[in-house]
Amino acid sequence: MIEAICWDVGGVFSGRPVDAIADVADEHGLDADEVFAAIFGPYHLDGDHAWHRVERGEIALQDAWADVEAAIAAFGIELSLADFFRRFGNDPHDRTVVTATLRDLHAEGIAMGIITNNVKEFSGSENGGWRSLVPIDVISVVVDSSAVGMRKPDPAIYHHTLERLGVAAANTAFLDDMPANVEAARAVGMHGIVVERDPAPAMAELRELVARLS
């Protein structure tokens, strides 16, 4: 039985950064994986890249900004990190299906949690903060990487969330747009679902999972 569902934020409730970067890479004839890794670090790891350190709350966003923009400039493209953030909002898909699914399943008695790799400067509900994207009123547990000092795909962040929810991994679903984060959740025993560019199929998969295990 699914007793709790944990959600990523960026890429689930908003457009996927990986798609925005892929679009830029395609425009400039670059390798999308290389561009993504230069900006956000190798996302299948939890390492010492400046963005990883920002997401763990070890350094401020302003301390990483110059390093990340230098990495972008090294590709010979005239875009800033702010330009990439703006592109994340250019999402052609209807994301209301995500919020609707969350609210419907919460109404069935399922607890809701957030596990987000985030920077503390974006943690509010205003000025682009991630809380403005989610139905925070029905979220029981929020685990923000910049607040807890650990980030996906570190298994510790999943264990920490499960402990706070008071739910076993086998009774918890997890949704994220990054396959490595989903694989990490599965490795600790959670039911993982990858949210693709169009979120609707993942929402259908989640509903099917809940119904099958009810």
Q: Where are the domains of the chain?
A: 4-15+92-212, 17-88
| Percent of residues, the chain, with pLDDT higher than 90 | 70
| Percent of residues, the chain, with pLDDT higher than 70 | 98
Mean of all residue pLDDT scores within the chain? 93
**Separation between Cα atoms, residue 19 and residue 93, nearest integer Å:** 12
pLDDT band with cut points at 50, 70 and 90 for residue 177: very high
Q: Which residue has the higher pLDDT, 122 or 153?
A: 153
Q: How does strand 4-7 pair with strand 191-194?
A: unpaired
Q: 128 pLDDT exceeds 70?
A: no
Hey, what CATH topology would domain 4-15+92-212 get? Rossmann fold (3.40.50)
Q: 26 pLDDT exceeds 80?
A: yes
Q: Read off the pLDDT of each residue in 53-70 and give the average, rounded to a whole number.
A: 92
Q: 124 pLDDT exceeds 70?
A: no
Q: Read off the pLDDT of each residue in 141-164 and give the average, rounded to a whole number.
A: 97
Q: 206 pLDDT exceeds 60?
A: yes
Least confident range from 8-17, 51-60, 88-97: namely: 88-97
pLDDT band with cut points at 50, 70 and 90 for residue 85: confident
Asked if 3 contacts 174 with a C-beta cutoff of 8 angstroms, the reply is: no
Write down the pLDDT at residue 104: 98
Q: Which residue has the higher pLDDT, 51 or 82?
A: 51
Q: Residues 6 or more apart from 194 whose CB is under 8 A from it?
A: 175, 176, 177, 178, 179, 182, 202
Write down the pLDDT at residue 92: 87
